[in-house]
Amino acid sequence: MQNLVKTFIFIFLSAVLYISPVLSDENDENSIEITSSDYNTTPYDQEIFDPFEPVNRVVFKFNNVADRVVLEPIAKGYRRLPSPVQTGVGNFFSNLKLPIIIINQFLQGQFKNAASSTGRLVVNTTIGIGGLVDVAERIGLEEKDEDFGQTLAVWGVNEGPYIILPIFGPSNLRDTTGMFITSLTDPTNLYLVDQGEGEWIAVRTAGTAVDQRSKIIDEVNTLRENSIDYYAAVRSSYYQNRDAAIKNRDDTELTPVPLISVEFE
C-alpha cells in the first residue's frame, strides 16, 4: 500500500510538471464573474493588528513572484488534467488530512463531527481506494475541516499580529503556532518520519498546495487586477476566511484565500 501511495504521488506530480509549461499561458475556459467590489475593505479591516507591515509587504512581494512564476503555472497545468483525475487527487490529499482534523474536532468538543470524520476516514480509506473516491460523501458523511489554529481560537487564544510567512503565506501568531503544532503531531507525517520517509512530507505539502491553488486561479487574478492595494485585499480575505472557519459558518460565506496559502498537513 505504501509503495502504491508513493507511485501515485510521483506520477501525479510528474504529470503536472510536464504539462504545466505548455498550458500555463492558455486562457482558462472556466472564467468567473467577480467585481472589485467583492474585495472592498471595511472599517473592520483597518482594525487588523499588523505591526510588522513593512516587513510583511516585502515577504508578500516575494510570495507573489513565487506564486506567479512557480505555483500558478503548475496549478494551471494541473487544472487541464481530466476532471476525474483532479477529483481523485483532491480526495486523496483531503483523506490524508482527516486524522489531524479528527483530533482537532475532539479538542473543540465537536464529538459528533469527530465521529462523522472518523467514519469518512474508514470508508474512504477502504472502499474509497485509499481516499481516491469520496464514497463517504455519498452516504451522508460530509467533509468538515478543523485545524489547530481554530482549536486555539475556540480555547480563547488571541490571534496576535498578522504575519506573512515566506511561501506559506498569510497567517497570524495564533495560526502560525497552530501550523507548528500540526507539523509535530500530524499522524500521517509522524508515520512517514517513523518509516524513514520524511521527504514525502514535502511532496504531500506541494501536492496539496497545487490542488488548492488550482481551485482559486480566477479569484486570485481578479483580486490582483482590481485591488487598489493587493496586500490589504489579501489580508482582508485571509481574516474573513479564518473568522468564518472558526465560527463554522457555511462555506458559501467564505471569500477566496488568494496567493500562496500552503498547509503542512
C-alpha to C-alpha distance for 188 and 205, rounded to whole angstroms: 12
- Quickly state the pLDDT bin for 47 (edges 50, 70, 90): confident
CA within 13 Å, CB half, 3: 0
Amino acid at 189: N
Q: Which region among 9-18, 142-151, 154-163, 231-240 has the lowest average model confidence (pLDDT)?
A: 9-18
Determine contact, residues 243/150, Cβ cutoff 8 Å: no
Task: Classify residue 166: in a domain, yes or no.
Answer: yes
The verdict on pTM exceeding 0.85 is no
Domain membership of residue 148 as a residue range:
45-253
pLDDT at 18: 44
Q: Tell me which of 48 and 175 has the higher pLDDT.
A: 175
pLDDT at 23: 40
| Residue 55 predicted with pLDDT over 70 | yes
pLDDT at 250: 65
* Alpha helices (runs of H) in the chain, residue ranges in sequence order: 2-23, 43-46, 53-66, 72-79, 83-107, 111-126, 135-138, 148-154, 173-185, 187-194, 199-214, 217-226, 230-246
pLDDT at 42: 53
Task: Classify residue 227: in a domain, yes or no.
Answer: yes
pLDDT at 118: 96
pLDDT at 135: 96
Task: Classify residue 49: in a domain, yes or no.
Answer: yes
Q: Which region among 46-50, 106-110, 215-219, 237-241 has the lowest average model confidence (pLDDT)?
A: 46-50
Task: Classify residue 214: in a domain, yes or no.
Answer: yes
* Residue linked to cell 496567493: 259
Mean pLDDT of the chain: 82
- C-alpha to C-alpha distances, 75 to 19, 33, 99, 166, 169, nearest whole angstrom: 10, 20, 26, 19, 16
C-alpha to C-alpha distance for 16 and 19, rounded to whole angstroms: 5
C-alpha to C-alpha distance for 181 and 174, rounded to whole angstroms: 11
Task: Classify residue 130: in a domain, yes or no.
Answer: yes
- Quickly state the pLDDT bin for 16 (edges 50, 70, 90): very low
Share of residues in the chain with pLDDT > 70 (%): 77
pLDDT at 265: 53
pLDDT at 164: 95
| Residue 172 predicted with pLDDT over 90 | yes
Which residue, 123, 96, 126, is CA-closest to 201?
96
Domains in the chain, number: 1
Which residue, 20, 76, 53, is CA-closest to 221?
76
Task: Classify residue 29: in a domain, yes or no.
Answer: no
Cell of 41: 475593505
- Quickly state the pLDDT bin for 219 (edges 50, 70, 90): confident
Amino acid at 221: N
Mean pLDDT of the 15-22 span: 44
Task: Classify residue 13: in a domain, yes or no.
Answer: no
Task: Classify residue 99: in a domain, yes or no.
Answer: yes
